[in-house]
Amino acid sequence: MPSVASIVARSYPDQIIGIENELPWHLGTDLQLFKKRTQGHAVIMGRKTFESIGRPLPNRKNIILSRSEPEYLNEYKDLVWAPNPTTAFLLADMASIISGKMEFFVIGGEQIYKTFHSYLNRIFVTDVFCGPINGDAKFEVDFDSKTRGTKSEWIIDDEEEFPKSEKDEFPFRITEYRRRVPYHRYRVKEELMGRAPDIDSYWEQYELKLHQLEEDAGEQLDFFR
Ligand SMILES: NC(=O)c1ccc[n+]([C@@H]2O[C@H](COP(=O)([O-])OP(=O)(O)OC[C@H]3O[C@@H](n4cnc5c(N)ncnc54)[C@H](OP(=O)(O)O)[C@@H]3O)[C@@H](O)[C@H]2O)c1
Taking the domains of the chain in order of start, what are their residue ranges?
3-190
Q: Ligand 1 mean position to 215 CA, how many Å? A: 39
Q: Lowest mean pLDDT of 49-53, 94-98, 196-200, name the range.
A: 196-200
55 alpha carbon to ligand 1 midpoint, in Å? Answer: 15
Whole-number Å distance between alpha carbons of 175 and 53: 24
> What would the mean pLDDT of 96-115 be, rounded to a whole number?
94
Question: Which atom number of ligand 1 is nearest to the Cα of residue 20?
Answer: 45
Task: Find out whether 45 and 62 touch, Cβ atoms under 8 Å.
Answer: yes
Give the Cα separation of 127 and 149 in Å (integer). Answer: 27
Contact predicate 122/102, CB 8 Å: no
Alpha-carbon gap, residue 202 to 179, rounded angstroms: 32
Topology (CATH level 3) of domain 3-190: Dihydrofolate Reductase, subunit A (3.40.430)
Ligand 1 binding pocket (C-beta < 6 A) is: 8-9, 17-18, 21-23, 46-49, 52, 65-68, 83-85, 107-112, 115, 137
Q: What is the pLDDT of residue 144?
A: 84
Selected residue with higher pLDDT from 33 and 190: 33
Contacts of 30 (CB under 8 A, 6+ apart): 9, 126, 162, 168, 172, 174
Distance between CA atoms of residues 10 and 124, nearest Å? 11
- 214 pLDDT band, cuts 50/70/90, is low
Residue 183's pLDDT is 96
Residue 34 parent element (H or E): helix 28-38
Strand ranges for 20-168 from DSSP E: 42-46, 61-65, 79-82, 103-106, 120-128, 137-138, 146-147, 151-152, 154-162
Q: 138-184, pLDDT tens digit by residue?
A: 999 999 877 666 788 999 999 999 999 999 999 999 999 999 999 99
| pLDDT over 90 at 211, yes or no | no
Tell me whether the omega of the peptide bond preceding residue 13 falls within 30 degrees of 0, making it cis: yes
pLDDT band at 94 (very low <50, low <70, confident <90, very high): confident
